[in-house]
């Protein structure tokens, strides 16, 4: 009888891809994949270790899965960033865990499960120079119409607040042929939207080919039959060049949407963060994108309460947001992480001040987002159908301006039945801070 595998994937979409690769390996090793933890003989928690809140979520999830030991669950494995970071500590402090697998050791997943069944506990980590595991066939666990394509591993940016280079290694691009082959396979399985992800997508190809190759990758993927949307996440502003902007502008399959992690608007804070650009550079990129790419939606992430951030620095950030009115903004309070340069900086900000600054930005952005959404009322957008709402009345989906699971959705009615994964025209009737309400007009599906 086949052993049953269940996995909980925490953190970012890049982690989700890793989880799906492990599922692919295990399905080929003759394990059965199940969705419910109660049915699983083997439970895997693929952890995030980026910031304190993510670590706490990972710990809570591991403890929750540990409670399943002694029921149907026979083996508990911890993988991912927190596994790479804390290694033996996880085994020491949570005895229910049978194996710990770091971010470069996913290919060993079937082996360590076998060892666990033999009564041997395993800690495997430190292989931070490989990418070939990414070439393995995945088991897609999310909506098949919108699928992430992880184009590289690791990071060379060395931002002072970030632990990722220590957990994932140096920046390593995947070969172009491998990525195109995977995108073709995903299209054959029903993918309509390919979402390109990496720690820094804009640096793709520099290490392999000696130059930035993201525009060429986009062109190759856009030639694949069945792919209608290509979405770009995590494009660092200092790496966005004219060739990439032109490709976004002219390629009809590229969503006019860009995720650009800016982090701050004070040059002093940006320098302390180890960011390579200035706020002037960031503004020039934003201006050029808005000039060249009609209707572009821009999303960013910010950090408030970085060590030494003054009220003047914070006001610069507020002023920047008021001036540039970005479409989507995620705001994190600075998390002091051991092993990072920023953890040693003087001027650590009290938690209450960090939370207050976060609240102020969220309130400002809610107003901006609401006004931007109101401008969409009465307009018609091509929309991908992602599912049916719980009430059974509304469908829900996204336009080019919404990334899945990150941004809001469109709830809409249709006189005709629609297929999940199809595209339709939706007229926006009403708007909220993040979600929109609409109705289908002139239905069409592809």
Annotated binding site for [4Fe-4S] cluster: 12, 48, 81, 155, 159, 162
Reading phi first (left if > 0) and then psi (alpha if -120 to 50, else beta), residue 181 is in: alpha
Burial of 251 (C-beta count, 10 Å sphere; 0-12/13-18/19+): middle
Reading phi first (left if > 0) and then psi (alpha if -120 to 50, else beta), residue 367 is in: alpha
- Map residue 282 onto helix, strand or coil: helix
Burial of 360 (C-beta count, 10 Å sphere; 0-12/13-18/19+): middle
Asked if residue 206 lies in contact with residue 168, where contact means CB atoms within 8 angstroms, the answer is: no
Asked if residue 255 lies in contact with residue 293, where contact means CB atoms within 8 angstroms, the answer is: no
Asked if residue 21 lies in contact with residue 138, where contact means CB atoms within 8 angstroms, the answer is: yes
- Map residue 394 onto helix, strand or coil: coil
Length of the chain: 446
Asked if residue 143 lies in contact with residue 384, where contact means CB atoms within 8 angstroms, the answer is: no
Tokens representing 375 are: 């401008």
Which residues are annotated binding-site positions?
A: 12, 48, 81, 155, 159, 162
Q: Report the C-alpha gap between 143 and 147 in whole angstroms.
A: 7
Please compute, for residue 395, the number of CA atoms within 13 A of its CA located in the half-sphere on the CB side.
25
Q: Report the C-alpha gap between 302 and 323 in whole angstroms.
A: 16
């Amino acid at each position: 009888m086949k052993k049953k595998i269940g996995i909980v994937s925490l953190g970012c979409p890049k982690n989700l891809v890793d989880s799906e690769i492990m599922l692919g390996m295990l399905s080929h090793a003759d394990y059965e994949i199940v969705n419910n933890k109660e049915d699983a003989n083997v439970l895997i928690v693929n952890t995030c270790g980026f910031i304190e809140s993510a670590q706490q979520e990972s710990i809570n999830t591991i403890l929750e899965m540990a409670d399943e030991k002694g029921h149907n669950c026979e083996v508990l494995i911890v993988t991912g960033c927190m596994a790479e970071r804390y290694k033996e500590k996880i085994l020491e402090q949570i005895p229910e865990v049978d194996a710990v697998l770091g971010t470069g050791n996913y290919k060993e997943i079937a082996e360590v499960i076998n060892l666990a069944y033999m009564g041997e506990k395993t800690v495997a980590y430190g292989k931070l120079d490989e990418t070939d595991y990414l070439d393995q066939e995945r088991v897609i666990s999310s909506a098949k119409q919108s699928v992430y394509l992880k184009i590289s591993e690791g990071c060379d940016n060395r931002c002072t607040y970030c632990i990722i280079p220590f957990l994932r290694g140096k920046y390593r691009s995947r070969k172009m042929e491998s990525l195109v082959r995977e995108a073709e396979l995903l299209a054959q399985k029903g993918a309509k939207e390919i979402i390109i992800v990496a720690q820094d997508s804009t640096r793709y190809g520099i290490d392999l080919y000696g130059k930035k190759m993201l525009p060429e990758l986009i062109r190759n993927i856009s030639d694949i039959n069945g792919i209608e949307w290509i979405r770009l996440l995590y494009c660092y502003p200092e790496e966005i060049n004219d060739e990439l902007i032109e490709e976004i502008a002219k390629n009809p399959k590229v969503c006019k949407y860009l995720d650009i992690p800016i982090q701050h608007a004070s040059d002093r804070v940006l320098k302390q963060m180890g960011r390579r650009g200035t706020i002037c550079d960031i503004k020039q990129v934003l201006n050029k994108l808005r000039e060249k790419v009609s209707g572009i939606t821009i999303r960013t992430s910010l950090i408030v309460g970085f060590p030494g951030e003054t009220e003047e620095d914070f006001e610069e950030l507020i002023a920047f947001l008021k001036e540039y009115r970005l479409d989507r903004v995620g705001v994190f309070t600075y998390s002091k992480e051991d092993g990072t340069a920023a953890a040693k900086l003087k001027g650590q900000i009290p938690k209450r001040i960090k939370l207050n600054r976060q609240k102020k930005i969220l309130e400002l952005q809610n107003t901006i987002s609401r006004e931007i959404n109101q401008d969409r009322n009465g307009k018609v957008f091509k929309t991908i159908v992602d599912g049916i709402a719980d009430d059974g009345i509304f469908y829900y989906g996204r336009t080019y301006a919404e990334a899945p699971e990150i941004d809001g959705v469109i709830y809409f009615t249709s006189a005709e039945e629609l297929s999940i994964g199809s595209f339709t025209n939706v007229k926006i009737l009403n708007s909220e801070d993040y979600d929109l309400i609409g109705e289908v007009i002139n239905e069409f599906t592809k």
